[in-house]
Structure formats: structure tokens, C-alpha cells
Structure 1
Amino acid sequence: MLIIKLNATNSTNSYLRELSNNKQLEDYTVVTAKHQLQGRGQRGTNWESETGKNLTFSVLKDISGIPITDNFFVSVVTALAVRATLNDFLIPNLSIKWPNDILSANKKIAGILIENNIKKNALGSSIIGIGINVHQTYFENLPQASSLQLITGKTFNPDHLLLGTITHLKFYFEQLKQHKQKLLKAEYESFLFRKNKPSTFKKIDGSVITGYIQGITDSGRLCVLEQDAAIETYDLKQIRLLY
């Protein structure tokens, strides 16, 4: 497994994508950086990370054997792998906030950005960006963010976190390769933040609703039981869970 360590780059996802466009890379090639100048998160947001305090890396994964209809399972597998790694390090109260933020209690400690390469209506490769807040202790205007150090009072070896994540990624991708989608979906849903609890959501039109998260569809849409006892499904652009 090739691990490329950088002091700084605009984005590990962008760096790895450009590298893979120019040369053949082995599966699970990793790019990690102490500082990202333009780190990105879900919904077009920036990923704020203090230099040298956190673990930010991207992984190149061959997903050519996965049906395009199962593309959300790349996100499922990654979220489960990061959650399992943090569980190994005894981080408490872990859950997955749909689609793939990792929380401790109600604090975000890790985020994931997945960029799949699709050609001729088939999956080719995926660049999986992962950010884990490790030792950062101050997050400006981010009241829901926290870090492993803030939560536990301990320090961590980022290399151990990185290798642990890769180990779990390999395990869960092997499960996907063996067509265990139902088991993966059930495990993912078992860790869903606020599942079966009364929750508040903001829809794309600005309206606010209450409902109960029931799970996800196979394509990754969120299933919400709403006040009229109907279950509606939403994609990432249509709804946002409010804390």
C-alpha cells in the first residue's frame, strides 16, 4: 500500500485525482496532508482543520465491480469503517449522521467526501476523502464540532488511526464484494444518529418539519416517518437534519 505524506496541498482528494489521472496507482493508494488549503466537505462546505492537529487523507479505491445502482454503498462502507476505527480507540457514543458524518454523542468528529468516477454508466474508481478531528481544541463558529482529544482528554497517533481506517475499509469493501449489501445496510442503520427519535428537519424550500428517521433506501435516500404517518424519502439536497 502506497502512502504519500504531504505537508500541505489544496485538497488531498484533488491531489490524488490528478495523480491517478497521470499514472496507474495501486488500490488503496493514500494521500495524507498536515494542512489542506481548500479542504472540502459535504454540500459544498469547507472542511476547517488546524494545521498538524488532525488527520486528513484520501484513498483511491477500485470500485469497478460494484453495480452503479449500489454506488451509495461506497459511502456506507466508508462510514462503517471510520466508525469501527474510532470504536477501536474507545471513542464513546459513536453514531453516523446521514449520510456519513461520524459523531460522538452529538458532536461531529469525522467527515467523509466521496467522489466516484463513472464512465459509460459504470463505476470505475472512487476517491474517498476522510477527515478526523484528532487534537484540535478550538473550532470557530462550529458549535457542533469536537475532537478525539476534547472528548477523551487523551492524545492519539494519527498514523495508527490511518492504518486502522484502511484495515476496516478493506474488511467492509470485502463484505460488499461478497454481495452482503443487506447486512451492511442493517449495520449502517443500527448506528444512524437519531433513528426512531423525534427529530427536526429543514427542507429545501425552507420549511421545517418533525419526523422520525426510519432508515435508508438501497440508493441512500433518508426515510422519514412524518406527522401524517407517511414515510417520505429524501436525498441529500432535499433535507437536512437539524441538531
Structure 2
Amino acid sequence: MRIIKLNAIDSTNTYLKKMGVAGVADDGLTVVAKFQTNGRGQMGTTWNSQEAKNLTFSVFKDVSFVDVAQHFYISMAVSLAVYEGLNSLSVKKIKVKWPNDILSDNKKIAGILIENVIKHNVITASVIGIGLNVNQTDFSDLPSASSLLLLSGKVYDLDEVLSSILKQIEIYFDYLKNRQFKLLKSTYESHLFRKNKPSTFKNAEGSVFSGYITGISDVGQLMVKVEDNFIKSFDFKEVSLMY
């Protein structure tokens, strides 16, 4: 697996996508930056990270074997890879907050941005951006965020954490390639934050409602049991889980 290390870049995802367009990005190519000037999260949000204290990296993966309709399994595989990578480092109380935020002790420690390259209705590749709070201690403007250092009291070696996650990405993409979809889905659901617990949600119109997360659909929708035991499904932009 080839790794490119940069001091500063606008966005590792943008950098890697350009390499993909130029035809010089092979499967597993990873770009790591000490600092991103324009790190991006889901739905156009920004990912703020202190220089050289955290991991901000992107991985180029060949996913030509995944049908467009099954694209959420890519997200599941990545989420589980980060989960297991951190679990192997003895990080405690890890959960996956749908669709692919990683929490520890109910605090967000990692975000994932997956940008699929689709040609003629076929997914040819995925650019997987991961931002992980490792040794940062100041989150004064982000009360729901934390880091591995704050949660464990231990300073982590960034290369060791990166290696652990990259190893798991290879393992979980082998599951994906071998079409072990049931295993991926059941494992993902077993680590799902607030599953089967009374929770509060907000829909796209801003209305708040209560329900229980029961799991996810095959296309990645969140399944929520609301009043009268009715199960409703929501796309990512249609609902948010309130803390």
C-alpha cells in the first residue's frame, strides 16, 4: 500500500480525486496530511483539525465490484474498519453513529467522507476521507467532540493509528469483494449508536419526534420505530439524531 505524506493541502480527498482522474491512483493509495486548509465533512461541513495532532487522510479504493444500489455497503465497510482499527488499540466504548460518524464514550472522534466515482452508472472507485481526533485537546467550540488522548489520557503515535486503520480497511474490503453483505450489515447494526434505545430525532422540516432505531435498510436508510410500532425509513438528509 503506497502512502503519500504531505505537510499541508487543501483537502486530501480533492488531491486524491485529481490523481484518480489523472490515472495515477492505484488501489489502496493513501494520502496523509499534517494539516488541511479546507477539510470537508458530510453535507458540505468543514472538518477542523489542529496541525500534526490528528489524522487526516484519504484512501483510494477500487470498488468496481460493488453495484450502485449497494453503495452503502462501502460506507459500512469503512465504518467497521475504523471501529476495529480503534478497537485493536484498546479505545473504549466505540459506536457508529449513522451513517458513519465514529463515537467513543458518546463523543465524536472521527468523521468519514466517501466520494464515489461513477461512470456509466457503475461505481469505479471510492475516495475515502477520514478525519480522526487523536492528540488534540481543545474542542471548546465543539462540545460533542473529543479525541483519543482526552478519552484515554494516552498520547498516540499517529503512524501506528494509521497503520491499524489501513490494515482493517483491507480486511473489510475483502469482505465487500466477497459479497459478505449480511455479515457487514449485521456487524454494522451491532455497533450502531442508540440502537433499540429511546431517542429523539429531528426531520428535514425541523420537527422533533421520538423513536427507536431498529437498524438500517439494504440501501442504508435509517429504520426508526415510531408510535404505534410503525417502522419509518429515512435517508441521510431527511433526519438527524439529536444528542
TM-score range relative to shorter protein: over 0.9
In 2, Cα distance between equivalents of 1:11 and 1:211? 37
Matched residue, 2:106 = 106
5+ residue gaps, structure 1: none
Q: TM-score, normalised by structure 1?
A: 0.98
Q: What code does the residue aligned with 2:99 have? A: P
Name the SS for the 1:59 alignment partner. Answer: strand
What's the counterpart of residue 206 of structure 1? 206
Look up the SS of the partner of 1:102 in the other structure: strand
Q: Please give the per-residue CA displacement for 1:73-105, whole angstroms capped at 9, x wherever unaligned.
A: 110000000000110111110000000000012
State how far apart, in whole Å, the 2-side matches of 1:11 and 1:48 are.
11
Residue segments in structure 2 that go unaligned for 5+ positions in a row: none
- In structure 1, the residue matched to 2:174 is 174
Q: Map of 1:177-192 to 2, 5 A cutoff?
A: 177-192=177-192
Deviations for 1:204-233, whole angstroms, at most 9, x for unmatched residues? 001000000000001000000002310000
Residue deviations 1:179-217 (CA, integer Å, cap 9, x gap): 110111000000000000000001000100000000000
In 1, Cα distance between the equivalents of 2:132 and 2:84? 13
The normalised TM-score by structure 2 is 0.98
Deviation, 1:24, is: 2.6
> d(CA) in 1 for partners of 2:7 and 2:106?
31
Structure 1 position 121, deviation (Å): 0.7
The residue number in structure 2 matching 1:133 is 133
* Aligned partner letter, 2:115: E
Q: Indicate conservation of the 8 Å contact 2:107/2:146, yes or no.
A: yes
The amino acid that maps onto 1:151 is L
Equivalent residue letter for 2:21:
N
Question: Within 5 A, what are the aligned runs for 1:1-243?
Answer: 1-243=1-243
| Counterpart residue type for residue 128 of structure 2 | I
Deviations 1:122-150, CA, capped at 9 Å, x for gaps = 11000000011000001132101000000
Large movers: runs of 4+ above 6 Å: none
- One-letter code aligned to 1:218: D
Equivalents in 1 of 2:84, 2:199: separation in Å?
25
Paired amino acid for 2:59: V
CA contact (8 A) 2:109 2:148 kept: yes
Q: What is the percent sequence identity of the aligned residues?
A: 51
Structure 1 residue 43, shift from structure 2 partner: 2.0
Looking at structure 2, the residues matched to 65 and 181 of structure 1 have their Cα atoms a distance apart, in angstroms, of 13
The alignment partner of 1:166 has SS state of helix
**In structure 1, what is the Cα distance between the partners aligned to 2:215 and 2:43?**
21
Letter of the structure 1 residue corresponding to residue 189 of structure 2: E
Q: For structure 1, which segment, 173-182 or 19-28, has the greater mean C-alpha deviation from structure 2 after superposition?
A: 19-28
Cα distance in 2 for partners of 1:63, 1:23 equals 15
